[in-house]
A = this chain, B = another copy of it.
Amino acid sequence: MTTRLGRSLCFLPMQLLLVGLGPLGIKLAADVYERGLGSIEAAVDVSPKLLGRSLLDLVPTSKSPLRVTGDLEAAGARGLDAAVVATSSSLVSCAPTLCTLLGRGMCVVSTCEELFWPWLRHAELARELDDLAKRCGGRLLGTGVNPGFVMDAFCLGLTAVSRAVDSIEVHRYQDATTRRIPFQKKIGVSLEEAQFQAQVAAGSLRHVGLGESLHFLASHLGWPVEHWEEDIAPVYASRDLPSGLGMVPTGKICGVRQSARGRVGGRTRIELKFQASLGLEDPHDRTIVRGEPELDVRIQNGVHGDVATSAITLNAIRALQKAPPGLHSMASIPMVHCAKAHA
């Protein structure tokens, strides 16, 4: 086919460096092998529970005797195609790792939520990362399902057919009933009101990225944001609801609702609404672009977060490799899509 179609679109298996072997890192490593995308040639994590363990042990399908090391400096990068960093939502926490990898001229994709649109909270650091990448021939991208796709890149991509955009509204409504227990915990299921508020204050109970998604959209649409705000509130069970943490009685907290609004020209032109709760009926992702033409796009049942974040992170590597050196966003690289390696 590649000859007949005049271009080769398959790619060679990738040799990757993986930083961070928490649940998401493990999922990423498993997908690299199970999808036949290539292999992990270096695995780095500072957790004492992981140090020295073999990849075979953590990811049986890898069949790899590679040992987890705590020393990124010692983990060679020679000949590797890219690095995947799955350590933290905080860009400041990830920065030393990112700098080391970019200094080697590597192509780096990270699930760090703040890196999706780093110009919002860390403009100076973003500039430094961009400079370093350009100087050393490295490439850097933050992505994931959200931020990274359903509430931002997907929505902006829709406006390809827009003659004019007046406002954008995005919904992500997820039913947490069938999700993993850690996810149910993370969204506050079964917490008392005071516990919920304490966890919100501590930053452990919230979806990170609405502000990043909002500013990604605004910037590309050429809208100067005069003011933006984000709020978060518990969702209360309207009936007794089963969960991995036991039955949640009527009136108790069964999830979280979060929203962000951005004002441009004196009125709200971007509104993002996120909810994850038990027993949510008709879960879906939806983007409404008001303008010319009107666009109302619905992803039935929504995009499953656990599968999708690992998928888009790995799918993004090839697109990032084709982009020029520097700090990128999902809008500055060629189209990210599913693909397979050469057999």
Contacts and interface: CB of A to CB of B under 8 A. Distances in A.
Interface of A: 1-2, 4-7, 9-10, 31, 35, 119-120, 123, 126-127, 145, 149-150, 153-154, 156-165, 215, 218-225, 291-301, 303-304, 307-308, 310-312, 315-316, 322-323, 330-340
A119 B5 contact: yes
Contact of A31 (B160, B163, B221, B308): B163
A313 to B, nearest CB: 10
B331 A6 contact: no
A51 B45 CA distance: 70
Given A1-B225, A300-B297, A315 B7 contact: no
Contacts of A120: 5
A287 to B, nearest CB: 10
A223 B337 CA distance: 13
15 contacts: A4-B123, A6-B123, A7-B119, A9-B220, A35-B164, A156-B335, A160-B338, A162-B308, A163-B311, A164-B338, A220-B339, A221-B337, A293-B303, A296-B300, A335-B335
B295 A307 contact: no
Given A163-B307, A334-B334, 13 more contacts: A2-B224, A9-B219, A10-B222, A156-B337, A160-B311, A160-B312, A161-B303, A161-B312, A293-B304, A293-B307, A293-B308, A331-B334, A331-B337
A5 B164 contact: no
